[in-house]
Structure 1
Amino acid sequence: MRGANRSSVSEFLLLGLSTQPQQQQLLFVLFLSMYLATVLGNLLIILAISADSCLHTPMYFFLSNLSFVDVCFSSTAVPKMLINHILGNESISFFGCLTQLYLLIVFAYMDNFLLAVMAYDRFVAVCHPLHYTTKMTHQLSALLVCGSWVIANLHALLHTLLMARLSFCADKTISHFFCDVVPLLKLSCSDTYINDMMILTVAGLLMIVPFICILISYILITGEVLKVPSTKGKWKAFSTCGSHLVVVSLFYGTIIAVYFNPSSSHSPETDTPATLLYTVVTPMLNPFIYSLRNKDLKRALRKVIGRKRFYA
């Protein structure tokens, strides 16, 4: 690597969410509460699925993986923001920033892939119910999840290595609460053409293809459900997919708002609320969305919570 490509900064400054002390105190309490709710809610989902043998099916296997990813996703960005607030220190090392970037890309794309896999699972369950156990085997489920992890890590490695080759000169202030691709590219005094092209091509392709798979799955599901003669039967079929659709809408809506707008429209005022949604709010809401109308999951959660109370 040529010396010109090496960064001249050893750390960056994360401005966080607000520079006003009164707002900082309120935001600290708010995001600490949301983070704890995210961790507790998702861990309860994982524990409930693991403890109940009736939930050892592909659908709940994917859901437990999604809960694990959501915990990791929030834990990559939120604790650092909270620690910086407590210590009154806005800095993050260059290596720490790239590590955070890598992990955020991995978990964001794992969310993306898992939502697509879950949509396919629902398609098989609704459109081919008699062949569900033969089509959605445990081996296929494990292969889909493992393949998602491999692709997500390779993709994150690509963007992290491309970011590491850039030069960062005088300005080291990131107008964000974590190290994200777009704010870092704005700070670089190198040519970011390759990075931009990789975001538009590889990143865009890996985001759009799963989204198209989800759309196709639900178009086919809708066509199959409309063939059901009774209204009750239609509602029952749609209800199995409702929670997943809500999560898909939240995730892709915020991702598109942040990363697929023209670069000139990117600003902390518009990007920060959207990134807060998919890094903090969505992972917190997912356990509630999936358990709200799922009788089997609610039953398993009551067993887990009741058992904890008994031993307490």
Structure 2
Amino acid sequence: MQKTANPNASAAAKKLLNYLSETAGKAIITGQHTQTNPMKEIDYIRKETGKEPMLRGFELLAYSPNINYQNATEECLTEVYENRNTMETALKWAKENHGIVTLTFHWFSPLGGHDKSFYAKNTDFDAEKILTEGTPERTAFYDDMDIIAAELRKFQEADIPVLWRPFHEADGDWFWWGAKGPVVASRLYRLMFEHYTNVLHLDNLLWVWNCPVKDAYPGDAYVDIVSMDIYLTSYEKTDYHKQYEQLIQVTSPNKTAALAEVGYMPDIQLLSDSHTPWAYYMTWSKEFCIGEQYNAVDQLKSVYRSSYAIANSCGVMQ
């Protein structure tokens, strides 16, 4: 039984982590990211397979406190408007279906920036300055964290555990939190962990680290689940075993592992043969799920109808 990084984690969070760790290698939990309140991805999966993912991903980008509405493209504004009220949707869904919730946060930079300022190219916000006491960057960082914490607390009050994946894809330089390198992002992650866990006591969170870089791993004391995002350039029949080995080598063999984002779903037959211990996979949203640009309908059906995959319209955490 894997212990939670937060020793004061709620009973529901401990139960969920135990379930994930026990599932890995015996089955895989189906997961799907959504970005908008209509959640067309879920409708599509239900229509094509007759089932729904056990794990559903919701996006927090519209909850960013520092969105520059005056200097944003129509595309940016559409993304923000379509994402509004997703936390209410997530709460309602989790309560009614006992499903598993994971949250992603494309965090508009706490200071400055224009358009989609979660992208480093759209902001001059310096993540490294957060690490220095007394800087405006550090103050803004904590102010934003406290605002988002209010949303996370709603789940705690409802006794709903959340797979919390902050600073995702920290190995890349495209987001502001990774622009100064994954080690800086790791230090931001630890600051958030300490603030949310030891100061604000958000004990319903399971902490998902999302960066396959050895020197950046925050340490077992800060992580519940190690994960990576994988976007193959073309379809390949795979169980992502090679990537699993890579991830464990640069993070920890003591933690449950997950495919936090994939473009192409893993091949369910290969997984059932190899038992590569991924606890869950999450297909990215929109065209990565809907249509056959990435995942063929036959592939979708084979996964959701497999006895090795855990998929349903409601979860098992009842």
**Do both proteins adopt the same fold according to a TM-score greater than 0.5, normalized to the shorter chain?**
no
Q: TM-score, normalised by structure 2?
A: 0.26
Q: Which has the higher contact order (CA 8 A, sep 6+)?
A: 1
- The structure where strand makes up a greater share of residues is 2
- The structure where helix makes up a greater share of residues is 1
> Which structure has the greater CA radius of gyration?
1
